[in-house]
């Protein structure tokens, strides 16, 4: 799969839903209130690392993809990254639950892309109906600087290579 979004392109507008971290979420009986993140407004003038996973809590995503971003958070910040975000087709409550489980506290935003609609605009959705998952986000990574794509790549298989934390760090 080759993305339709390319280096030098301005990222298409999009609105993600997420549940911002608050201390009340540490009590797992709270769910939080979903809010909107508008890429065009909220990421204007910022350096953003966005990586996508087919699903929260799924084996490769949960074990191999997200953890290195958590471990290397300070390295991303040292390279001037303002925002690190993970996106998946899961709903905002599932993404929030994953973020709470991983104790992200919005260091890494957990964004919902329902039915991978925004990812599809970039040529970065994948049909996983054969696994009963429906349409999901492909496994990919994008670096944005003031909404302009500085890096984009999609995984050629089921592993984590071109969208992993080490590769993305090397592209900053």
d(CA 73, CA 157): 25
Q: Which residues of 54-70 are buried (b: 16+ CB within 10 A; e: fewer)?
A: bbbbbebbbeebbeebe
Q: What is the CA radius of gyration of the chain?
A: 15
d(CA 135, CA 116): 6
List residues with catalytic annotation: 61
C-alpha distance from residue 165 to each of 1, 12, 17, 97 (Å): 21, 23, 23, 22
């Amino acid at each position: 799969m080759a993305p339709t979004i390319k280096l030098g392109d301005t990222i298409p507008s999009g609105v993600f839903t997420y549940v911002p971290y608050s201390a009340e979420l540490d009590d797992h009986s709270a769910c939080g209130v979903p809010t909107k993140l508008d890429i065009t407004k909220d990421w204007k003038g910022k350096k953003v690392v966005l990586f996508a996973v087919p699903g929260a809590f799924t084996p490769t995503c949960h074990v191999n993809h997200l953890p290195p971003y958590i471990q290397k958070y300070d390295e991303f910040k040292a390279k001037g990254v303002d925002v690190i975000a993970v996106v998946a087709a899961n709903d905002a409550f599932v993404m929030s639950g994953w973020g709470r489980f991983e104790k992200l506290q919005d260091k890494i935003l957990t964004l919902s892309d329902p039915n991978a609609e925004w990812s599809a605009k970039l040529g970065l959705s994948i049909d996983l109906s054969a696994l009963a998952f429906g349409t999901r986000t492909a496994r990919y990574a994008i670096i944005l600087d003031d909404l302009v794509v500085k890096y984009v790549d999609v995984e050629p298989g089921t592993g984590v290579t071109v969208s992993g934390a080490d590769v993305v760090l090397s592209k900053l």
